[in-house]
Chains A and B, each alone.
Chain A
């Protein structure tokens, strides 16, 4: 069974940093692109970033470019999102998702990031 378990979310002050984690199991991690998707409270889904199988290709939504960094450790079956210079508008539930072709076919339960003073 595919499992994606996110962690690392918390309350952080504006301008602060946070690192999110996603532990993957139940599939061959190295075969898949992985992504982060977020959802602000009461709002829709927003794709944040993705990374290819060996970590050599990374793409970001414009609003996080230069502030967020996606990475992965294939030896640990783990996905990360380093978030710097956090803003109030980054407050959201952050999902880790497995990409399969043109879709995200498996999702974690999410980890909540709150940016507030």
Chain B
């Protein structure tokens, strides 16, 4: 079955840039989405179709996808961005989520 691998944790200082990677076989040939989940809350879509932002998502969130890796970048990270982040794609008509990355804003 298809797998997506993310680093378990990423630490970033306020105002700095956080990059979260998501690795999967030929992931660049598929669309990647990204979700933010804060403790006790439901996931929120922050990036879809590799790089598009839903309405209401701040411009500091951006995405890219090429080769075997999709990347979520948070520029000018704020304390409110501290959360778990999951990538997601589709393979053979089934959805696959990444292993998840905890972003800590120190």
The chain A residues found within 8 Å of chain B, CB to CB, are 35, 37, 44-47, 50, 59-62, 95, 100-105, 107-110
Contacts and interface: CB of A to CB of B under 8 A. Distances in A.
Interface in B41-73: 42-45, 48-49, 54
Interface stretch (B14-22, B74-82, B89-97): B89-97
A59 B91 CA distance: 11
Q: Looking at chain B, what size class is its interface with the partner chain?
A: 20 to 34
B95 A50 contact: yes
A47 B42 contact: no
A62 B48 contact: no
Interface of B: 1, 31, 33, 35, 37, 42-45, 48-49, 54, 84, 86, 88-90, 93-100
A87 to B, nearest CB: 19
Given A101-B49, A102-B49, A103-B45, A46 B33 contact: no
B90 A46 contact: no
A103 B33 contact: yes
A72 B97 CA distance: 24
Nearest to B43: A107
Q: Which 5 A-B pairs have the closest CB atoms?
A: A47-B95, A103-B48, A103-B33, A44-B100, A107-B42
B95 A35 contact: yes
A11 B58 CA distance: 39
B9 to A, nearest CB: 13
A103 B88 contact: yes
B49 A45 contact: no
A44 B96 CA distance: 11
